[in-house]
Structure 1
């Protein structure tokens, strides 16, 4: 699953040659907020993201910001991942290439506190025998559709982070047989953000995934530091991972876990107030992780 946030930013378009088109009402809201006594960088972030698109791309740390009420947003991207592993079914080591030719997260603001979500993906997978590079499989197809929601929990207040809850259900009824879940899959996470300054944010997610290909539970964590490089360009570095329960031959918990930890970084650039491009890359830091991965994407929020 894909996923990111547009990282913290301070409004100051006059500092660069790039112009972002902002509505007159949005500017009014921003300056009304800025004129309030004791307003903080967190207040600036909230006002900024009412004017400028905030996304769950390109990092794995989902943003706590919701799509504004009545707005439809599309976050599209591609993913390239290469690695090697021991295939327990085949009994030997293989190399793999996972391609996400297109993943699209569709988001609609139902209210100020609730967002509807739909994920569609077209995937590809190639597998080679590592010892002689002989091709074992080469398949493409649609992944199963996931439906879900993001629900606002609380605003940032001192040590309490801005927090939202995200839940998805993966449906086994649509998509290619190779890629869709074998049975109903569920996943959820809490996404949280601390505003450190006008420039820096610290964000993190905690959650789990259950079902789909197998019934083992995978525990998810993400941590991200974001920085505004200049007015409409932000960057991030991130550590994230999945800790999955392992099963024995009786399909019961074996008492140990499979660790998949990764590090990545990337850049997001706001081309217009409702249009963002991004690029990112990373590598695995545990035995079960891919060697490296690359991603790029484009996000668009329909105007009112």
Structure 2
């Protein structure tokens, strides 16, 4: 059988190869706008008629005892109408628990389906805005899937501070493990050259009856082609309740139309 890591390499190879194909005459010329790897997902929408795949690997060390791996994490975005996209999200998860001895818990994470809808465009100080709604379905491995369908809602905003500096932020509310949870994220992204951008981000969440968790990360976005972007990010906790640190990397690819 093909291992999970081999599947990741095959997926990344496919994305790079497909991106090299000549685009159809209707291919849009604007650069790709991805929702990974940052947590402050902005209001960007995949244009009507286009399909975009965002996939990668995520490692997280929660504490001295627990580390989690997810590969590939995948988000499929389909432009249904102008300003409306369909979203499908899932991951293969592999948790390593070290408590004297090690044991692995592998399986499919829950499948989430939903949409993102543009609310309005940026005008002066008014930010561009979009509403995202996702539903985590009780599908996947027993250890990872929720007992019931769990909705997640998020309002994403962005402001162009200058030609090469952008501010993105969001507010979210949903359910995790049957309990309501608030979340937030904010990042500032600076373009240094035509193809390279860096961002600094803070984000967190607060579940009912649980302490708030706050984290920060630094990320790199490199545009290999107008429709293919590579990313790398690393972060750490800002308070003791949050996971200790994480690293993520991946690709975002918009299929030619």
Q: Normalising TM by the smaller chain, what interval?
A: 0.7 to 0.9
Report the Cα distance in structure 2 between the residues aligned to 1:265 and 1:189, rounded to whole angstroms: 22
2:154 match = 189
| Structure-to-structure mapping, 1:23-42, within 5 angstroms | none
- Contact in 2 for aligned 1:164/1:190 (Cα 8 Å): yes
Report the Cα distance in structure 1 between the residues aligned to 2:211 and 2:98, rounded to whole angstroms: 23
2:199 match = 236
| Runs of 4+ more than 6 Å apart | 21-26
Among 43, 57, 70, the alignment partner of 2:36 is: 57
1:300 match = 253
- Contact in 2 for aligned 1:115/1:149 (Cα 8 Å): yes
Among 229, 233, 238, the alignment partner of 1:280 is: 233
Report the Cα distance in structure 2 between the residues aligned to 1:286 and 1:296, rounded to whole angstroms: 24
Among 143, 148, 155, the alignment partner of 2:121 is: 155
Quote the offset at 1:70 in angstroms.
Answer: 0.3
Quote the offset at 1:62 in angstroms.
Answer: 0.9
Larger radius of gyration: 1
What residue ranges of structure 1 are gaps of 5+ in the alignment? 1-20, 27-48, 85-93, 247-256
Matched, 1:120 2:85: no
| Structure-to-structure mapping, 1:63-78, within 5 angstroms | 63-78=42-57
1:37 match = none
Report the TM-score, using the length of structure 2 for normalisation. Answer: 0.87
- Contact in 1 for aligned 2:71/2:93 (Cα 8 Å): yes
| Structure-to-structure mapping, 1:1-304, within 5 angstroms | 51-84=30-63, 95-129=65-99, 133-135=100-102, 137-172=103-138, 174-211=139-176, 213=177, 215-246=178-209, 257-304=210-257
Matched length = 236
When the two chains are superposed, the root-mean-square deviation of aligned CA atoms in Å is: 1.8
Report the Cα distance in structure 2 between the residues aligned to 1:77 and 1:268, rounded to whole angstroms: 13
Quote the offset at 1:142 in angstroms.
Answer: 0.3
Quote the offset at 1:22 in angstroms.
Answer: 8.8
Give a deviation string over 1:246-289, Cα, whole Å, max 9, x none: 1xxxxxxxxxx421100001111111111111100000111121
- Contact in 2 for aligned 1:266/1:281 (Cα 8 Å): yes
2:8 match = none
What residue ranges of structure 2 are gaps of 5+ in the alignment? 1-21
- Contact in 1 for aligned 2:29/2:226 (Cα 8 Å): no
Report the Cα distance in structure 2 between the residues aligned to 1:50 and 1:205, rounded to whole angstroms: 27
- Contact in 2 for aligned 1:22/1:51 (Cα 8 Å): no
Quote the offset at 1:61 in angstroms.
Answer: 1.1
Give a deviation string over 1:56-79, Cα, whole Å, max 9, x none: 011111121111100010000110
1:3 match = none
- Contact in 1 for aligned 2:24/2:256 (Cα 8 Å): no
Report the Cα distance in structure 2 between the residues aligned to 1:241 and 1:161, rounded to whole angstroms: 22
